[in-house]
Amino acid sequence: MDDLSITSGLTNRLWRMALWGSVIAILIAPLIAMQFTGEVHWTPFDFAVATALLGTTALGIEFAIRTIGRPTFCVVAVLGILAVLLLVWAELAVGVFGTPFSGS
């Protein structure tokens, strides 16, 4: 691997910690918000779905980073994975596409 590789040593550990740390932070945010306001009401099922979505996304990003050699292709793959996450999350939340799984 060349010096630009993000799968080398310390850099590998740092991006993995940032990736999984952000997943945990996103899951903790509504839990904390529910303690202070009635506006946020997540059920255990909501947390399970969010955990599955974010965990699958994080695993997909890890897989893309580990298997794709060129940094440009890696960035495109990660952006594509994040775009799919946002579309699925939006559909489940408010029903952007009107599927039977929509939140509204």
pLDDT, one tens digit per residue, over 1-53 is 444 555 567 777 888 899 999 999 999 999 999 999 999 999 999 999 999 99
Q: Where are the domains of the chain?
A: 9-94
* Cα distances (angstroms) measured from residue 23 to each of 8, 20, 86, 102: 22, 5, 14, 23
- Greater confidence (5 vs 76) lies with 76
Supply the pLDDT for residue 71.
86
Mean pLDDT, residues 94-102: 79
The predicted pLDDT at position 5 comes to 55
Q: What is the rounded distance in angstroms from the CA atom of residue 61 to the CA atom of residue 10?
A: 18
pLDDT at 1: 45
Tell which phi-psi region holds residue 5, choosing left (phi > 0), alpha (psi between -120 and 50) or beta.
beta
Confidence of residue 94 (pLDDT cuts 50, 70, 90): confident
As a whole number of angstroms, the distance between CA 19 and CA 24 comes to: 9
Choose among 85, 87, 91: nearest CA to 104.
Answer: 91
Range in 26-30, 58-62, 85-89, 98-102 with the lowest mean pLDDT: 98-102
Burial class of residue 13 (count of CB atoms within 10 Å of its CB; 0-12, 13-18, 19+): exposed
